[in-house]
Structure 1
Amino acid sequence: MQKSKIKKLCAITLALALGATTLVGCGGKDSGKGAKQEMVHNLGAEVETVDPTLNKAIDGSIVIANAFEGLYKTYDSDKAEPGIAKSCDISSDGLTYTFHLRDDAKWSDGQQVTAKDFAYSWKRALDPKTAANYAYQLYYIKGGEAYNTGKGSADALGIKVVDDLTLEVKLEKPTTYFLELTAFATYMPLREDVISAHPNDWTTDPSTYVTDGAFKLQEYNMKDSYVFVKNDNYYDKDKVKLNKLTFKMIVDETSAYASLKNGELTSIDIVPVAEIESGKQSGLVQISPNLGTYFYCLNVGNKTEQLKPEVKKALDNKNVRKALNLAIDREKIVKEVAKGGQEPAYSFVPKGIEIDGKDFADKKYWDETKFDVEGAKKLLADAGYPNGEGLPTFQLKYNTAEGNKLIAEAVQQMWAQIGVKVNLQNEEWKVFQKSRENGSYEIARHGWSADYVDPISFLDMWMTGGGNNDAKFANPKYDELIKKAQLETDVKTRAQHMREAEDILMEEMPIVPIYYYTFVKGIDPKVKDMRVSPLGQVYFVKAYMAE
Structure 2
Amino acid sequence: MFKNHKWLVTTTSIALVLGVVLTGCGSTAPTAGTTPSKEMKMSYAPGSEPKTLDPQMSNGIPEMIMEMNMFEGLMRLDKDSNPQNAIADSITVSPDGLIYTIKLKDTKWNNGNPVTADDFKFAWMHALNPEAAAEYAYQLFYIKNGEAYNSKKANAEDVGIKVVDPKTMEITLESPTPYFKSLLAFPTYYPVNKNNVEANPKWNLQPETFVSNGPFKMQSWSHNDKLVLVKNSNYWDANSVKLTELTFNLVSDGKAALTAYEAGQLDGIDQTAVPISDLDRLRKAGSLKTSPYLGTYFYRFNVTKKPLDNTKVRQALALAINRQALIDNVFKAGQTPALGYVPGGVPDAETGKTFREVGGELFKEDLTKAKQLLAEAGYPDGKNFPELSILYNTNGSHQLPAQAIQDMWAKNLGINVKLVGQEWKVYQRSQQDLQYDISRAGWIGDYIDPMTFMDMFVTQGGNNQTGWSNADFDKDIETAKKSGDQKVRMQAMHDAEKVLVNDMPIMPIYYYVNYYVLKDNIKGLIQLPLGFTDFKNVTVEK
Same fold (TM > 0.5): yes
Which whole-Å CA distance do the structure 2 matches of 1:403 and 1:229 have between them? 30
Q: 1: CA distance between counterparts of 2:136 and 2:413?
A: 38
**Structure 2 counterpart of 1:161:** 163
* Structure 2: gaps spanning 5 or more residues: 1-10
Q: 1 CA distance for matches of 2:14 and 2:538?
A: 21
Gap change, CA 1:13 and 1:238, over 3 Å in 2:
farther
One-letter amino acid of the counterpart of residue 24, structure 2:
G
Q: 1:142-179 CA deviation, whole Å, 9 max, x = no partner?
A: 11011111111111111111111111111111111111
Counterpart code for 2:225:
D
Residue 81 of structure 1: SS of its match in structure 2? strand
Cα distance in 1 between the residues matched to 2:208 and 2:450: 40
**Cα deviation digits, residues 314-342 of structure 1 (max 9, x gap):** 11111110010011110011111001121
Deviation at 1:280, TM superposition (A): 2.8
**1:279 CA drift (Å):** 1.8
DSSP 3-state at the match of 1:137: helix
Match in the other structure for 1:485 = 480
Whole-Å separation in 1 of the counterparts to 2:87 and 2:345? 29
Residue 268 of structure 2 is matched in structure 1 by: 267
User: Greater CA deviation, 358-367 or 314-323?
Assistant: 358-367
- Which segment drifts farther, 537-546 or 268-277? 268-277
- Deviates most, 21-30 or 346-355: 21-30
Gaps of 5+ in 1: 1-11, 302-311
RMSD of aligned alpha carbons: 1.6
Kindly report which structure 2 residues correspond to 1:224-373, keeping only aligned pairs within 5 A, or say none: 224-269=225-270, 270-301=273-304, 312-356=305-349, 357=351, 358-362=353-357, 363-367=360-364, 370=365, 372-373=366-367
1:453-475 Cα distance to aligned partner (Å, 9 max, x none):
11110110000011111111111
Q: What secondary structure sits across from 2:218 in the alignment?
A: strand
Q: Distance in 1 between matches of 2:78 and 2:44?
A: 17
Instruction: State the one-letter code of the partner of 1:16.
Output: A
SS in 1 for 2:110: coil
Name the CA distance, whole Å, in 1 between partners of 2:184 and 2:241: 22
Supply the distance in 2 between the matched residues of 1:39 and 1:410 (Cα, whole angstroms). 37
Q: 1:14 to 1:338 in 2, by over 3 A?
A: same
Report how far residue 210 of structure 1 moved: 1.0
Moved more, 93-102 or 352-361: 352-361
Which residue in the other structure is 2:19 paired with? 20
Give the whole-Å Cα distance in 2 for the aligned partners of 1:407 and 1:23: 28
- In 2, Cα distance between the equivalents of 1:456 and 1:34? 43
TM (norm. structure 1) is 0.93
Q: Which amino acid aligns with 2:115?
A: V
Q: Secondary structure at the match of 1:18?
A: helix
| 1:442-521 alignment runs, 5 A limit | 442-521=437-516
Distance in 1, Cα, partners of 2:41 & 2:258: 18
Distance change (3 Å), C-alpha of 1:250 and 1:14: farther
Cα distance per residue 1:71-126 (max 9 Å; x no partner) = 111143311110000110000010100001112x1110111111111111111111
SS of alignment partner, residue 146 of structure 1? helix
Write the distance in 2 (CA, Å) between the matches of 1:544 and 1:17.
25
CA apart distance, 1:376: 1.0
- Residue of structure 1 in register with 2:398 after alignment: 404
Amino acid across the alignment from 1:261: E
Q: Does 1:387 align with 2:381?
A: yes
Deviation at 1:254, TM superposition (A): 0.8
Residue deviations 1:3-60 (CA, integer Å, cap 9, x gap): xxxxxxxxx9984352522234336662763455111111222211110010011111
Match of 1:205 in 2: 206
Q: Which residue of 2 aligns with 1:63?
A: 66
Code of the aligned partner of 2:320: A
Q: What amino acid maps onto 2:229 in structure 1? A: F
Residues matched between the structures, number: 521
Task: Verify: 1:377 aligned to 2:376, yes or no.
Answer: no
Q: Is the 8 A contact 1:481 1:501 kept in 2?
A: yes
Native 8 Å contact 1:24 1:531 kept in 2 = no
Q: Sequence identity, in percent?
A: 42
1:102 to 102, 105, 110: 105
TM-aligned CA deviation for residue 195 of structure 1: 0.9
> Within 5 Å, which residues of 2 pair with 1:30-41?
30=31, 33-34=35-36, 36-41=39-44
Matched AA of 1:230: K
Aligned-pair CA distance for 1:405:
0.6
- Structure 1 pair 180–27 and aligned structure 2 pair: CA distance change class (3 A): closer
Corresponding residue of 1:133? 135
Partner Cα distance (1:274, 1:442) in 2? 27
2:300 match: secondary structure = strand
CA distance in 2, matches of 1:140, 1:513: 27
